[in-house]
Structure 1
Amino acid sequence: MRCHPASAGRDLRRRVSVALDILVWMDQGGLALADLAQEHIDDWIAGATSQRRYLIRYFLKWTTSRRLTCELTVPSIPSQEPQDLLDDDDRWRLLQRCLTEDALPTAVGADGAITLLFGLSAERLRHLTPEHSKFGDKHVHLVLGRRPVLLPPRLAELLRQLAEQPQLRPQLSRTHPGPQWLVPGMVPGKPISTHGMTQQLNRHSIPVRTARNGALAALAADLPSPILADVTGMHRHTRSAGSPMPDATGPSTSPPGQE
């Protein structure tokens, strides 16, 4: 009789536990295995506080092989290593494209510009609603924390368009109304998933990780760490790209046309 190492047994138990977790989640949402779509998987993984849910790939491989579900993709576990930075020239060039290229979908232009300017994570970005934009007589501010952030006029206009565009609201979301997400997802009442938003930006040649790291590095050179932490939602002692957040302001990094 062959004995398996204790670590292999623990791994198998974790896989089974994760499979049970998603089955309970599906039961609570009234979902059958045959109804499981990519958007559901993305949303379930995005709601995790750890990387444990990525183990669902093994259960989904089994359900697919038995034709209990369609073919579903589980993204790779995010790397914990520091990512490359997008240099300032490339970042401003991409920002200009996000703000001026009419061929880009409105959501891609707005989300890309916010990533390139403020380094927001896709998780925070997907939860933006019209209430995060404060329109005044002359200026528009984005409220990300306690301190509103002044927006370039073109980005403000993109956010206004997103807030005003009609949204298809399935019957379920009409009977259980929730927030009006700037970028709604396929699941009724839910915003786009983190994975879906990242894929959408990457498809339009906006490299999310390097763009975000470049923005955070530039902001860290400009803003005191308490303000940077407030805007980005990061802890003030978090290191970005291997460098500590500074405690003193530096030179301005205004977006193109905003100096």
Structure 2
Amino acid sequence: MSESLFRAAILARSGWAVAGLLVTSFAFAQSTVTRAVNEQVAAEQAAQQTQGRINQLDDETRQAVAEYRATIQETASLRRYNAQLEQTLKSQLEEMQTIQKQVVEIETTAREIVPFMQKMLATLEEFVKLDMPFLPDERARRIADLKDMMARADVSIAEKFRRIVEAYQVEMEYGRTLETYQGKIGEKTVDVLRAGRVSLMYQTLDGAESGYWDVEKKQWVKDNGYGDAIKAGLKIARKQAAPDLLTVPVSAPKEAK
């Protein structure tokens, strides 16, 4: 073989070797790049997953914080409500104690005032019996009604006391008024004239007989000498004449014992 052909053969072999080396190097480089790309993609996916987890944990943390704050606010609200409820219960307990005390006082007062009212009623009845005999039916009926009322359980103590005091007031008013009404003296129907509790007089309907109640004798006394005065008093009591001075029979005052 000539030297030229030998060199050409060597060059050819060298070219193929270089080409093979280049192919091998390219394949290796391509594999390296692919592996690097895959690793980068995997890293990015892992980063995305990690970020997603972080975001999820962040949302859960925010929710937990919000729930914690809501719980704190609810706890504070419950504490305020419990404190207010405790104060209300304390006030109610104090009110209950006050009411119980008042009930005891009322029961004690009731035990004391009932005998007192009975005594007032007995005194009023005795007073009416000893007083001038005017409006006998009306006054007796008032006393009887009060006695019946005292035995009734459906009438409060306050109402019973009010009615008795009212009866006293009516009796007091009799001492300040001029009044006339028709009544009976024996078999005679007469006009009765009451001048306060100073004098109690009568006159028959025809004006033929007049008289007055004698406090000392406890009886009616005929005395026509007061006929004109009684007639004038009857007109005043009936609003048929203007008020005027009247001459009426008055019992002499007694010395107090």
Task: Please give the TM-score of this superposition, normalised by the length of structure 2.
Answer: 0.22
* Structure of higher RCO (CA pairs closer than 8 Å, 6+ residues apart): 1
The structure richer in strand per residue is 2
Q: Which has the larger radius of gyration?
A: 2
